[in-house]
Chains A and B, each alone.
Chain A
Amino acid sequence: GAVVSQHPSWVICKSGTSVKIECRSLDFQATTMFWYRQFPKQSLMLMATSNEGSKATYEQGVEKDKFLINHASLTLSTLTVTSAHPEDSSFYICSATTGDQETQYFGPGTRLLVL
């Protein structure tokens, strides 16, 4: 149980384009989802927290207009990287909780390469 999927698993795009990443909880309803970014050899950095049906809460230093998060249902959250640039190239990972936020279950991650 508690399986989280992400799509796509990797994506290559041109600078200036937008990329959408989906995060789904497959066998449970996720009232809260989190988006992380991880650069090579570094730890995960929390970007934002989203609750179903409400606006996401972004961490300090994360541009909300650049990283659009939508959590329209209890099983789906999307992260859209708008006007992507090479410095946005990273490993993006989502996680979901069942509501109490004590345990987060992580997706497999999405590798983004912006050329």
Chain B
Amino acid sequence: LAKTTQPISMDSYEGQEVNITCSHNNIATNDYITWYQQFPSQGPRFIIQGYKTKVTNEVASLFIPADRKSSTLSLPRVSLSDTAVYYCLVGSSGGNKLTFGTGTQLKVEL
């Protein structure tokens, strides 16, 4: 299993950029890095996925250094509705089994 470590919680204000870092020291060669967002009593929602370097979509960016032992989810200009738990997962069909860690509770205030 690829153990991931994230901060338990983070606080921010509306309009700020939020960066959540995840460490995954035993990532396997075939593993991808995937981030999910979860609101209370809902299933996790896919945010972004990457293998190396940088990936950007309409809601977030994912930065992955060359050694791939960590990754950073960047949320630009957060709003109150971004208050949620964010999970970093590492795994693949040919590598580590996807396992949910504790996640990061992001709280966005006015």
Q: Which residues of B contact A93 (CB under 8 A)?
A: 43-44
Q: Which residues of B contact A (CB under 8 A)?
A: 32, 34, 36, 41-46, 49, 87, 91-93, 97-103
Q: Are A106 and B92 in contact, with the CB atoms below 8 A?
A: no
Which partner residue on chain A sits nearest B99 by CB separation? A46
Q: Which residues of A contact B46 (CB under 8 A)?
A: 2, 103-106
Number of interface residues of A (CB under 8 A): 22
Instruction: Looking at the assembled complex, report how far the CB atom of A60 sits from the nearest CB atom of chain B, in whole angstroms.
Output: 12
Interface string of A35-47 (1 = CB under 8 A from B): 0100000011110
Instruction: Looking at the assembled complex, report how far the CB atom of B27 sits from the nearest CB atom of chain A, in whole angstroms.
Output: 13
Q: Which residues of A contact B (CB under 8 A)?
A: 2, 4, 6, 36, 43-46, 91, 93, 95, 100-109, 111
Which partner residue on chain A sits nearest B93 by CB separation? A101
> How far is B32's CA from A36's CA once the two chains are assembled, in angstroms?
20
Q: Are A102 and B100 in contact, with the CB atoms below 8 A?
A: no
Q: Which residues of B contact A45 (CB under 8 A)?
A: 100
Q: Which residues of B contact A44 (CB under 8 A)?
A: 44, 87, 100
- Find A43's partner among B93, B97, B103 (CB 8 Å cutoff): B103
Q: Are B41 and A111 in contact, with the CB atoms below 8 A?
A: yes
> How far is B43's CA from A93's CA once the two chains are assembled, in angstroms?
6
Q: Are A101 and B92 in contact, with the CB atoms below 8 A?
A: yes
Q: 7 shortest A-B CB distances, which residue pairs?
A: A106-B43, A101-B93, A44-B100, A43-B100, A102-B32, A109-B43, A106-B44
> How far is B87's CA from A109's CA once the two chains are assembled, in angstroms?
17
- A43-B100, A43-B101 given as contacts; is B93 within 8 A of A100 (CB)? yes
> How far is B101's CA from A105's CA once the two chains are assembled, in angstroms?
17
Q: Which residues of A contact B34 (CB under 8 A)?
A: 102-104
Instruction: Looking at the assembled complex, report how far the CB atom of A3 sits from the nearest CB atom of chain B, in whole angstroms.
Output: 11
Instruction: Looking at the assembled complex, report how far the CB atom of A62 sits from the nearest CB atom of chain B, in whole angstroms.
Output: 14
